Amino acid sequence: MTDLPPTERSRLRRVHERGRYDRATIDRILDAGLICHVGYVIDGLPYVTPTIYWREGDRVYWHGSSASRMLRRSEGEQVCLTVTHLDGLVLARSAFHHSANYRSVMLFGRAELVADKADKLARLQAFVEGLYPGRWKQLRPITGREIKATTVLSLPIAEGSAKLRAGPPIDDEADYALPVWAGVIPARTALGQPEPCPRAPADMMPLAPETTFPEG
């Protein structure tokens, strides 16, 4: 896979050693997440809305109610879609060199509507199957009204960058001798034990054993 070409808005200016433009890194960060933050502009003012997203090939997708202001106002418009994983807090010997370990991706471009009904259905199915393999066929079939009430937007993975920091604190050389604890407190997002719906029958089948989930 190739690199994304750095552009005026995607190129990292400072600490450019933390920047990555290769699709392997970008896709890995995208595929490890569930929630993105979509930025868009209404009447010149910025809005940032959290939403679940998924990747299929060279695109990311997000969805919601067709009545959603976020979806209606970002369709066809420029957006910035950001995914962030906090990996740790970095404690240095000086306040100044405290930091965080993280992996993030910022994507830029025009949000595109998935207008075709069959295409929209295929995307929703891929979304559910990506999270919960085997589940789509277990569910009550989606209705035409439900498909119509759902908007799916997408963004090509064409302009953007990843940024990441990992590893221990980097201190001023003279500070390493100071008698203060330094290191990393790791952070991790994890999924727990499924909690059945209170209205589920007691003999309800458990989740399919092959069901796997991404880690944040």
List binders of a copy of itself among 15-34 (CB under 8 A). 34
Sign, Cα dihedral of 115, 121, 126, 128: positive
Minimum gap (Å) between residue 58 Cβ and a copy of itself: 21
Contacts of 176 (CB under 8 A, 6+ apart): 93
Candidates 2, 17, 57, 143; binder of a copy of itself (CB under 8 A) is 143
Minimum gap (Å) between residue 23 Cβ and a copy of itself: 20
Beta carbons of 170 and 182 less than 8 angstroms apart = no
Is 44 a binding residue for a copy of itself by CB under 8 A? The answer is yes
Is 110 a binding residue for a copy of itself by CB under 8 A? The answer is no
Backbone angles phi, psi at 125, to 5 degrees: -65, -45
Is 108 a binding residue for a copy of itself by CB under 8 A? The answer is yes
List binders of a copy of itself among 150-209 (CB under 8 A). 150, 168-169, 175-176, 178-200, 204-207
Is 144 a binding residue for a copy of itself by CB under 8 A? The answer is no
Using DSSP bridges, classify how beta strands 35-42 and 112-113 pair: parallel, antiparallel or unpaired.
Answer: unpaired
Whats the size of the chain, residue-wise?
216
List binders of a copy of itself among 52-91 (CB under 8 A). 52, 65, 67-69, 78-82, 84, 86, 88-89, 91
Beta carbons of 73 and 156 less than 8 angstroms apart = no
